Amino acid sequence: MTESGKGGILANARVLIIGLLVVILIPGLALVFGAIGNSVNPEAQEQPNVLVNSTDSCVSCHRNTTPGIVSQYGHSTMAAANVTCTDCHEVAESYPGAVEHEGTWVLREPTTAKCETCHQAEVAQYNQSRHGLPAYVAMVGAEALDEDLLAIYEAIPEGGFNPDRSRNALFHMEGPEITRFACESCHNIGKPAPDGSVGQCTKCHLRHEFSLEQARKPETCNNCHIGPDHPQWEIYQESPHGIAYATDGENWNWDAEPGTLTVEDFPAPTCATCHMSGFGAQGTTHDVGDRLTWYLFAPISERRPSWQDNQVRMQSVCQECHNANFIEEFYTDADALVEAVNGWVQESREIIAPLRENGLLTDEPFDQPVDFIFFDLWHHWGRTAKFGAWMQGADYVQWHGAYEMLRELAELREYVEETMAEYEASNAIEDAGEANAATGG
């Protein structure tokens, strides 16, 4: 395009170079600055900070004292809907837990009672679920609840089920120096607050951003649903659903309006899709037990009181993507696996029964190696096998599940046989001694 004539070649070349510089440099610079902008604050592009020009007194001062909090909150849809710092934080002087602050009274940690003023449905569902008081009781025991809380706890239909008497033993053995960073980090999801309301919404809605994308991503659940005894996160990662998430998740519609989600938004499910989201015909719920058939966490699993209705709800989620026969067969097979694992746990109980009957197990939990073997057998491997089957993690059903159970059944058998043989031998010696004493020989 510059071949217009010999005399013009130089001038044309100069124009071309300048032109090229403009064409290359300006978008290049834009890309560079864009990238910097992105790495500093990726949210900024989706949802502008609505508090930039706010003259609210909390915001004005906290812009300097805690700029992170103001920035996060500024990008939330709640800030855009004019919900203010005071809506959550400000309380009357007499309110339980109130601290004096800048001429008013505030809560350091706004409770679910504050959220409830605007989100009754979510709080009610949450309180019906095992994320509420049952999660706290699992850790500390029902003895820790006062009369009012005990009444709430006992009224939760699927809440009171606690088959394992020694479930709080580790909490009490380890002591607060340890448990503050261990059990409590996870089980405080159901902790009661000084005002009597229950739970910590910010375990999933990480503070001040209240982002749907963050709450819906499985990494949010993996804060707690991880590890040898409840590896739901690891299982999900190796499942076809988790693979779809890992390989294509960035294209899913994470901020879609709640209650309207379809396969167009999520071609494969996350934890939230199956357990919480409104998906297809199913409404959104904060009761994470609402779609469950079994008490899988129990040593020996039983069906839940309203398991038929729960099952219909879960299957209706599956059926958005799988056909009815596929799901029916899957449920029949997974039910059979639960019964098989129940059988092995029952067998382990029968194996150690002679130790109990002859007083060879101490009353103290976790003071003999055999206590740990017996516990791991159902608490780690039995549960893992069940979770693996229901959420498509074959490795967890097999090598972290069934195989470990068989190994520990063998260890238990050997231990019990040896211990009983020693016990019987020492009894025989005693009997012989007594017999000798009686005959005077």
* Subset of 133-172 contacting ligand HEC (CB under 6 A): 134-135, 138-139, 158, 162, 167-168, 170-171
Could you tell me the smallest distance in angstroms from the CB atom of residue 350 to ligand HEC? 23
Pairs from 70-73 (Cβ < 8 Å, separation ≥ 24):
71/41, 72/207, 72/208, 72/209, 73/208, 73/209
Q: According to CB under 6 A, which one of 7, 175, 176, 240 is a site residue for ligand HEC?
A: 240
- The reply to whether 282 sits near ligand HEC by the rule CB under 6 A is no
Cα within 13 Å of Cα(94), Cβ side: 0
Among 275, 374, 381, 408, binds ligand HEC (CB under 6 A): 275
Which one of 37-45, 179-187, 396-404, 423-431 is the stretch in contact with ligand HEC (CB under 6 A)?
179-187
CB of residue 259 vs ligand HEC: minimum separation in angstroms?
Answer: 5
Task: Confirm or reject binding of residue 284 to ligand HEC (CB under 6 A).
Answer: yes
Using CB under 6 A as the binding rule, whether residue 396 contacts ligand HEC is answered as no
Cα-based distances in Å from 322 to 318, 326, 386: 6, 7, 21
- What residues from 13 to 52 belong to the interface with ligand HEC (CB under 6 A)? none
d(CA 112, CA 93): 18
Of 88, 96, 283, give the one whose Cα is nearest residue 201.
Answer: 88
Contact flag: residue 73 with ligand HEC (CB under 6 A): yes
Rule CB under 6 A: is residue 71 a binding residue for ligand HEC? no
* The one-letter amino acid at 429: I
Choosing from 12, 77, 306, 316, the residue that interacts with ligand HEC (CB under 6 A) is 77
Tokens of 55: 């003259």
Q: Nearer to ligand HEC by C-beta: 229 or 347?
A: 229
Interaction between residue 205 and ligand HEC (CB under 6 A): yes
Using the rule CB under 6 A, is 189 a contact of ligand HEC? yes
Residue 381 near ligand HEC by CB under 6 A = no
Nearer to ligand HEC, 203 or 344 (CB): 203
- Closer Cβ to ligand HEC, 49 or 355, answer by number: 49
By the rule CB under 6 A, 113 interacts with ligand HEC: no
Using CB under 6 A as the binding rule, the residues of this chain from 293 to 312 that contact ligand HEC are: 293-297
